[in-house]
């Protein structure tokens, strides 16, 4: 069977203050890679997903409307209505609440299902499954995916926006000069789970000396009022609210304090030495394994001594150029930033 001239692809992505915007961002990255190859893409929008799509410049190529529903059942009902009108060839699921029954509910004759996952803990109904987790192997889904499904696992399939790959050579060349740590990026998610961003900035500020702190935060984040007050009194702190130019900030930073979600791969692409903060239980195993393997320094935001360990990790990285360079080399080797194109090719082959 030949593909239609413009295959239609419908995305169903989770978003909420407690889960952040990573699901939407990686779907948006894949949608852009598919659109570059001629596909027509649309999103099932929730009220939490809509601001992220708008902030990062998604322009609807086809049907794009917003549901008032916030629960999974309501969104699925809305998704089926969109699918009946949009008539997609492929539906992409990136939602922790969705399981094989929900995924199968959007299946129709000749329609394919793609699942993006990083948990490997529940059954899926799909034709293609992508899990970019460090150390993840296809065998992890032997009991969770249909026998016919194609499985793409490991960081080679991380869905990273192309601007990070474009900044890679410049960032690596600058890091190879082994200069001092002059800029620190604090990026712990636009939704700022638990107000962690303000905690980090307050802990680091006394130890910074003349180092600049670039703090990325969302306009609805709990930390924002406190961060505005801190920045008003401290010239070293610069706030970037609802910033869409993360590639430039990430490439220009010398050290990062970053979240343990999908932004791990953005920092890896440009070889940014990082302290990776575990903000959710589902991040813990991968970040601990990456830390043990020498790709990053890992810290648990819920640890009682989190602030003290954060300052210690900062001082070690800031004072040891050789350690920073090892982390740069290791992390850059882990992820090259071309995963979105690889996954888009696999999706279109369906």
User: pLDDT confidence of 19, banded at 50, 70, 90?
Assistant: low
Indicate whether 99 and 185 sit together in one domain: no
Considering the domain boundaries, does residue 327 fall inside one? Answer: yes
- How crowded is the C-beta side of 300, counted as CA atoms within 13 Å? 10
Considering the domain boundaries, does residue 194 fall inside one? Answer: yes
More confident residue, 55 or 74: 74
Residue 310 CB contacts under 8 Å (≥ 6 apart), including other chains = 200, 203, 204, 257, 275, 299
Q: Are 75 and 69 in contact (CB under 8 A)?
A: yes
Considering the domain boundaries, does residue 104 fall inside one? Answer: yes
Indicate whether 50 and 83 sit together in one domain: yes
| Domain span including residue 219 | 163-334
Indicate whether 244 and 213 sit together in one domain: yes
Indicate whether 194 and 324 sit together in one domain: yes
Indicate whether 128 and 255 sit together in one domain: no
Indicate whether 203 and 174 sit together in one domain: yes
pTM of the model: 0.92
3-state helix, strand, coil in the chain (%, to 5): 45, 20, 40
pLDDT given for residue 1 in this prediction = 47
Report the CATH number at residue 80.
3.40.50.11190
Number of folded domains that form the chain: 2
For 72-98, how does the pLDDT look when each residue is reduced to its tens digit (9 = 90+)? 888 888 889 889 889 999 999 999 888
Residue 253 to residue 247: CA distance in whole angstroms: 10
Indicate whether 194 and 311 sit together in one domain: yes
Across the range 166-177, mean pLDDT stands at 98
Report the CATH number at residue 306.
3.40.50.2000
CA dihedral 321, 272, 248, 299 (to 10 degrees): -110
Considering the domain boundaries, does residue 50 fall inside one? Answer: yes
- Of 183, 167, 186, 188, nearest to 332 (Cα)? 167
Token pair 């939704």 is found at 191
Indicate whether 171 and 254 sit together in one domain: yes
Of the chain, the percentage scoring pLDDT greater than 90 comes to 77
pLDDT given for residue 68 in this prediction = 63
b vs e for 156-187, b when ≥16 Cβ sit within 10 Å of the residue's Cβ?
Answer: ebbbbbbbbbebbeebbeebeeeeebebbbbb
Q: How many CB atoms within 10 Å of residue 231?
A: 16
For 248-286, how does the pLDDT look when each residue is reduced to its tens digit (9 = 90+)? 999 999 999 999 999 999 999 999 999 999 999 989 999
Dmax (CA) of the chain: 64
139: left (phi over 0), alpha (psi -120 to 50) or beta: alpha
For 91-134, how does the pLDDT look when each residue is reduced to its tens digit (9 = 90+)? 999 998 888 999 999 998 889 999 999 999 999 999 999 999 99
**How far from chain centre, in Å, is Cα 127?**
23
Indicate whether 224 and 277 sit together in one domain: yes
pLDDT of residue 70 exceeding 70, the answer is no
Across the range 295-310, mean pLDDT stands at 97
Indicate whether 314 and 201 sit together in one domain: yes
Q: How far is residue 105 from each of residues 40, 65, 160, measured CA to CA in Å?
A: 22, 20, 29
User: pLDDT confidence of 62, banded at 50, 70, 90?
Assistant: very low
pLDDT of residue 3 exceeding 50, the answer is no
Q: Are 107 and 98 in contact (CB under 8 A)?
A: no
- Of 22, 79, 93, nearest to 45 (Cα)? 79
- Of 29, 22, 25, nearest to 342 (Cα)? 29
Considering the domain boundaries, does residue 325 fall inside one? Answer: yes
Considering the domain boundaries, does residue 3 fall inside one? Answer: no
Across the range 302-315, mean pLDDT stands at 97
Indicate whether 217 and 315 sit together in one domain: yes
For 141-160, how does the pLDDT look when each residue is reduced to its tens digit (9 = 90+)? 999 999 999 999 999 999 99
Considering the domain boundaries, does residue 153 fall inside one? Answer: yes
Indicate whether 179 and 321 sit together in one domain: yes
Residue 159 to residue 156: CA distance in whole angstroms: 9
pLDDT of residue 22 exceeding 90, the answer is no
> Token pair of 218, please?
């969302």
Q: How many CB atoms within 10 Å of residue 198?
A: 23
Across the range 189-211, mean pLDDT stands at 94
Considering the domain boundaries, does residue 168 fall inside one? Answer: yes
């Amino acid at each position: 069977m030949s593909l239609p001239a413009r295959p239609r692809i419908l995305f169903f992505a989770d978003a909420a203050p407690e889960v952040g915007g990573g699901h939407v961002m990686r779907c948006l990255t894949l949608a852009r890679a598919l659109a570059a190859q001629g596909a027509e893409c649309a999103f099932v929008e929730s009220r939490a997903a809509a601001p992220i799509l708008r902030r990062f410049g998604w322009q609807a190529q086809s049907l794009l409307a917003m549901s008032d529903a916030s629960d999974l059942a309501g969104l699925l009902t809305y998704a089926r209505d969109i699918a009946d009108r949009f008539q997609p060839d492929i539906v992409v699921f990136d939602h922790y609440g969705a399981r094989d029954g929900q995924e199968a509910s959007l299946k129709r004759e000749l329609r394919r299902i793609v699942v993006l996952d990083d948990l490997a803990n529940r059954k899926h109904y799909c034709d293609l499954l992508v899990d970019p987790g460090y150390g993840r192997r296809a065998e992890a889904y032997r009991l969770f995916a249909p026998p016919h499904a194609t499985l793409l696992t490991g960081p080679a399939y991380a869905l990273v926006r192309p601007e990070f790959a474009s900044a890679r050579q410049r960032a690596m060349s600058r890091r190879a000069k082994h200069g001092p740590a002059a800029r620190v990026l604090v990026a712990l998610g636009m939704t700022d789970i638990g107000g962690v961003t303000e905690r980090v900035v307050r802990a680091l500020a006394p130890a910074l000396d003349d180092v600049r702190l670039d703090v990325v935060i969302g306009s609805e984040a709990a930390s924002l009022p406190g961060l505005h007050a801190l920045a008003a009194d401290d010239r070293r702190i610069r706030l970037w609210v609802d910033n869409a130019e993360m590639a430039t900030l990430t490439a220009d930073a010398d050290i990062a304090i970053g979240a343990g979600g999908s932004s791990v791969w953005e920092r890896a692409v440009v070889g940014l030495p990082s302290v990776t903060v575990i903000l959710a239980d589902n991040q813990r195993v991968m970040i601990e394994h990456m830390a043990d393997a020498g790709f990053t320094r890992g810290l648990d935001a819920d640890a009682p001594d989190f602030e003290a360990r954060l300052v210690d990790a900062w001082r070690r990285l800031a004072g040891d150029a050789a350690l920073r360079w090892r982390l740069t080399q290791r992390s850059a080797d882990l992820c090259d930033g071309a995963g979105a194109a690889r996954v888009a090719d696999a999706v279109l082959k369906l």
